[in-house]
Structure formats: C-alpha cells, structure tokens
Structure 1
Amino acid sequence: MNRQEDIEQQMIVKWSQQATIRGKYPELKLLYHIPNERKCSAREGARLKSMGVKSGVPDLCLPVARGKHHGLYIELKTKSGKVSDAQKWWQAELNGQDYLSAVCYGWEQAIKVLADYLEGKL
C-alpha cells in the first residue's frame, strides 16, 4: 500500500468505528485489514511467504454473509490506482467461491460498498 491508500483505509476503519455507524451496522465490528503488503528483507519475506502471505490478497475483509455471498472483500485503490494481475486473480477466485470481491477507488466508494452490502443491495 502506498501512503495515500494507508490514509484512505484508516478513514474507512474510522468511519466503521463511529457509534452511529456501528448502531446501524453492528456487523462492522468484524471488519479487518489483511496485512499483506510489506517491505522487508528477503529473509523476512521468505518467512512470511512460508506462513501463507500471498500477493494480491484484498486489503479488507468483512466475514458477514449477505444474500448468496459468504462475505465481502475489498481491494482499496486510490482514485488513480491500478489493479495488479495477482489482485484480479484473487478477485475472480473469491467471486467464484460466492464471496463478493470489489475494487474500490477511494474511501468514499468503499464505505458505499460496505453499506450497500450490509443492506443487501449488492
């Protein structure tokens, strides 16, 4: 993640933790970040890979079923961000397993997807 994506993701989490939002969507207590982006030494990278860290895994997970979906994954991008081939692969695989995997460009789009998902609109 780049610095701007970090800030946007923090805005999503901050939104999800507001009392009024949690009152409306209590399931947001289960929203979590998947810390898959790391700059580290080759040795540390090999250790993390051996523990299951995989390239392209989405940034956020909401393990809450809605409709035909088992849960929601969000790949967060800045408004000018690009989706990598590994991220496209994960999105297709997750969607194929009846999860909803969405790419969101900016925090505003991500909170709309979260709210729409929890309201059963997606």
Structure 2
Amino acid sequence: MTAALKAWPAPRETRTRKKPVDWEGIEQTALFKWIDLQYPQESKLIYHVPNGGHRHKVTAGKLKGQGVRAGMPDINVDIARGGYFGLRIEFKSTPPHDAPVSPKQRDALQLLAEQGYLAIVCRGTHDAQEQIRAYMRLPKTEARQ
C-alpha cells in the first residue's frame, strides 16, 4: 500500500471554535451572590426564570407546552413595595456585551406594568443592584382586606 493511499481520506483541518462567553450569565450570577448577602431574608422571593437561551427544538417545545413564555423578564422580585405588586427585571449584560431588548420583551414589560408590577430593563450587575436597592427602600405595599 502506498503512502498516498494510507493518507486517504485527508484529515480535515481542525479549527477549534472559541466558545461564546455568557456575559449575561456571569453578571447575573454576581448579582445573585450580592442579593443573597444584601437581602438574606428576602432572597427567597428574588429568583431567575430561565425563559431564554438556546435549546434543542424538542426541549424548547416541551418547555413551551409547560408554560414558558417568550419575552418574559429574567428576574422576579416577589416583594410588594411602593404600591407595586413586585419588581420584574429584564437583565442584559453591561455594554459592550449587552443585547438589544426584543419587541417581545418590551411587550412583556408593558403587560406587567399594566398589571401593577414595576417592570424595567437593567444593564449589568451594578445597574440591577441600584434598581433593587431603590425598590427595596420603598414602603411596603399594604394589601387590602
């Protein structure tokens, strides 16, 4: 067998693709570490809903059937303050790694605001910390009996 035949088929050029950096995930993790330290009692009522992200079509279909809704905010603060029922945050990473707010996300924020939630966009950990801090300083919303 000749050397030419042994080499057939020619090996593909292997180029390793850099994995994309999940800037939003990194910053959101830092935010939740801060929340756990800053608001240890209330932190049980502050949580992330993983509506976004890239998934296999079958998984995405199952999640949609289970109630995942496109555009819904990333972070829920189920603490009533300042006349609001709660705070909803669409979290984006800090520029230049941020992404635009999609039309579905804008629509969801508007719908939530119409239902009595403070629904906002935060760009990065620092912005979200400032907004959560300001929200938590508001007086408690009193429920009518």
TM-score (norm 1): 0.88
The share of aligned pairs that are identical, in percent, is 34
Match of 2:107 in 1: 89
- Aligned match for 1:52, one of 51, 67, 70: 67
Unaligned runs of 5+ in 2: 1-20, 140-145
TM-score (norm 2): 0.75
- Aligned match for 1:64, one of 75, 79, 96: 79
Match of 1:35 in 2: 50
Answer whether contact 1:22 1:29 (CA < 8 A) is retained: no
Task: Tell me which structure has the larger Cα radius of gyration.
Answer: 2
Match of 1:104 in 2: 122
- Confirm whether residue 10 of structure 1 aligns to residue 29 of structure 2: yes
Question: How large is the RMSD of aligned CA atoms in angstroms?
Answer: 1.5
The residue type equivalent to 1:109 in the other structure is D
Unaligned runs of 5+ in 1: none
Greater helix share, structure number = 1
Answer whether contact 1:34 1:60 (CA < 8 A) is retained: yes
Number of equivalent positions = 116
